[in-house]
A and B are shown apart, each in its own frame.
Chain A
Amino acid sequence: MSANPVMAAIRRHSTLLILTVGLLLLVGLFELIGDRSLGRTVTEALIRVVVVVGMYIFIGNSGVLSFGHIGFMAIGAYATAWQTCCPRLKPLNLRGLPDFLLDNTFPVVPASIASGLLTAAVALIIGVALMRLSGIAASIGTFAFLAIVNVVYSNWDSVTGGTGSVVGIPVYVNMWVALAWATIAISTAYLYQRSRFGLALRASREDEVAARAAGVNIFRQRLFAFVISAFFLGIGGVLHGHWLGIINPDEFYLVLTFLTLAMLVVGGINSLSGAVVGVVVISALIEILRQFESGVTIAGVEMSLPSGVQEIALGVLMLLILIFRNSGIMGNKEITWPWKNGAAPVRDETT
């Protein structure tokens, strides 16, 4: 037992440290390798970390499955496009925007924050309605929300450019920017789940009636988590837009919902480490399959898998995990300091 307060703090918060330092090392490694296309994959994975950790803040802590979160990504992505995109094209393509957006171009960082806040505000409004629902009904409600966002953004031509893409969003997101946001997302999720709000929400996940009896206002706790969660989804959308430079409403629909849910389920839906591990594992898997789809040469024979194998493999993996290891890779536990005589064992709030 060390009396050193610093060491004690490190042990106490080992989950947070391991996750963030782990990602940092990963990014450092790929920076050294310096392969451009690998770098893009890593950036994409880090953006997905922001997204999936954002989803975890609500889904993991509340136990309410949401199909609507990717809709928040769309809202964030378009919000940043309105603020930062293409001053010359905006008056032509996005005529319906209010004047202050049409006439000005804002710097990217305040624009990201503003987009995240807009998304959170939307979540607050629809959350007041949706968070009153329970279980299956809430999931259905979020699904309806996703569909509404898709229909509105696909058809509101004067503001979103309809189903045509918005092109020319400044591209500035690289590994390090994405890593910074991933670290912020993970830290927030970590602090939240250890706060009294997080604990109250997790209690309601385990037993709604008991939590209510213990004085937890489930509606308020869920709403709070929903809003924080939406903020990071909005940021995820922002990063996605500034990473790719193009956004399109159909990009933020069922396929991405499926992919991100797969990451969450495979990693383990009830733990923060599970969310991060899920993203890393699935992204690696996708990258490998992508290589195979574009063709590899094994022992002099050119082989390539047909496109679509990626999604099938993901779907099958997801089903296998659901059937054989319902709690995901991490089994509802957080990654913790592995040494036995560590002080202050991290509370296993899950299971």
Chain B
Amino acid sequence: MGYRDRGMPLARRPPPRFFVWPPPPQPSPVKGEGEESDGRKPRVMTLFFQHMIDALSLGSLYALAALGIGLIFGVLRLINFAHGDFISFGVFALIVPSTNVVATMFLGALPWPLLIISIIAVVVILALISEYVVFRPLRNASPSSLMVGSFALGFVIQYTLLILYQSRPKAIGLWSDLNRHIDIFGLRVPQLQIITIAVTIGLLLVLMLFLKKTSYGLQMRAAAEDFRMARLLGVRANFVISLAFAISGLLAAVISLLFVAQTGVASIRMGVPLMLFAFIATVIGGMGSLVGAVVGGFVVGIMSVLLQVFLPVDLRSFRDAFVFFAVILILLFRPEGLVQVKAAKERI
């Protein structure tokens, strides 16, 4: 295609795909087609709901990751590029360091409540150590130094994992029975997607209650609004920042578990694309706004699925480029994002 077919006679050219409307239904990116048609419901509606659930569960992961990035940005004006590597770290904490392709469970061998708690503990501790060792000494550095610092930290974590676990991706069978499909109103949906959405909504509610109803939450919101003013009014900076890192670590750990249960594979760079999309979600939602981060996460998730469905086949592999391009557009035409925060403006 492209320049080569210019000489082709008109009649032999394929019809342009762009102008077919409505677009033909496409298989969803996650599940195979054909499972869903049981003849009872109109196919279009079924497909629509399938895609909605795909979009929401993908959006959930992005929203959680974006919230983790947004929380830290709020208090520290730090864009934490290492967040994706926190996520990978949580995944690898499940298994014993080795070079085998099939992983032996380490923390992953615990019964599930303990497993969840221990993974959360590991990632929270990692986040707190990062804060203490790297970001506390850089507290007064410029935003770009902080960015470079988090970039470097991410690489250190990534290559530590590389040394411990080698670069080959490993198969992990965590909660594989959750990938069974269940029937909801004639839809066959993977259980895990429902769990992902439910867990996300639950976590968001808890976090909202925490931020709105507790004194710690109030301090964090105050710090995100105007850090200096909050300090003057008696908010302890170190405490609030550590708290932000701890919550961010908790969110990262939850993503690790949900993500690895979905993919069944652990690789040392697995967190990076998630981080990139989450990062974009925070920009779209509005840097510094927590509501914006969540909204942005869902917007990116829905946008990805919609593009996957509606883009012509030729362009589908470029889907992510369109998502990234959207960021540049948002930055240009609505730099404050969807949800605007007063404090996020750079002042003189």
Contact = CB atoms under 8 A, between A and B. Distances in A.
A322 B141 contact: yes
Nearest to A259: B155
Given A209-B348, A254-B272, A148 B317 contact: no
Given A143-B276, A312-B155, A312-B159, 5 more contacts: A96-B4, A134-B346, A144-B280, A158-B2, A312-B163
Interface of B: 1-4, 77, 79, 134, 137-138, 141, 143-145, 147-149, 151-153, 155-156, 158-160, 162-163, 272, 276, 279-280, 283, 287, 317-318, 320-321, 324-325, 327-328, 331-332, 335, 346, 348
A140 B330 CA distance: 11
Which of B151, B272, B279, B320 counts the most A-chain CB atoms under 10 A from its CB? B151
Nearest to B287: A136
Interface in A282-322: 306-312, 314-316, 318-319, 322
A281 to B, nearest CB: 16
Contact of A322 (B143, B148, B321): B148
Contact of B331 (A133, A258, A315): A133
Given A133-B335, A309-B163, A97 B148 contact: no
Contacts of B318: 151-152, 155-156
A93 interface: no
Interface of A: 63-65, 95-99, 129-130, 132-137, 139-141, 143-145, 147-148, 151-152, 155-156, 158-159, 209, 254, 258, 261-262, 265, 306-312, 314-316, 318-319, 322-323, 326
A65 to B, nearest CB: 4
Nearest to A319: B152
Contacts of A98: 2-3
Given A265-B148, A308-B159, A148 B331 contact: no
Given A65-B147, A209-B348, A158 B331 contact: no
A312 B148 contact: no
B276 A132 contact: no
A322 B156 contact: no
Classify the interface of chain B: helix, strand, loop or mixed. helix
Which of A95, A98, A319 counts the most B-chain CB atoms under 10 A from its CB? A319
A99 B324 CA distance: 31
A145 B159 contact: no
B40 to A, nearest CB: 38
Nearest to A317: B152
A130 B328 contact: yes
Contacts of B149: 318-319, 322-323
A135 B141 contact: no
Nearest to A153: B321
Top 9 A-B pairs, shortest CB-CB distance:
A315-B156, A155-B317, A65-B144, A308-B162, A311-B159, A151-B321, A308-B159, A98-B3, A318-B152
A141 B328 CA distance: 6
Contacts of B163: 306-309, 312
B156 A141 contact: no
A140 B327 contact: yes
Contact of A262 (B144, B147, B152, B328): B152
A209 B346 CA distance: 12
A133 B332 CA distance: 7
B159 A129 contact: no
A109 to B, nearest CB: 26
Nearest to B2: A96
B321 A148 contact: yes
B147 A139 contact: yes
Which of B149, B153, B155, B346 counts the most A-chain CB atoms under 10 A from its CB? B155
Contacts of A136: 77, 79, 143, 147, 287, 346
Contacts of B141: 322, 326
A319 B133 CA distance: 10
Nearest to B317: A155
B320 A261 contact: no
A319 B153 contact: yes
A129 B329 CA distance: 9
Contacts of B335: 133, 137
24 contacts: A95-B4, A133-B331, A135-B144, A136-B77, A136-B346, A141-B327, A141-B331, A148-B324, A152-B318, A158-B2, A159-B2, A258-B155, A262-B152, A306-B163, A307-B162, A312-B156, A312-B163, A314-B155, A315-B155, A318-B148, A318-B149, A319-B152, A323-B138, A323-B149
Contact of B138 (A134, A159, A307, A322): A322
Which of A65, A96, A144, A319 counts the most B-chain CB atoms under 10 A from its CB? A144
Contact of B159 (A63, A143, A315, A322): A315
Contacts of B134: 319, 323
A64 B144 CA distance: 8
Nearest to B77: A136
B218 to A, nearest CB: 26
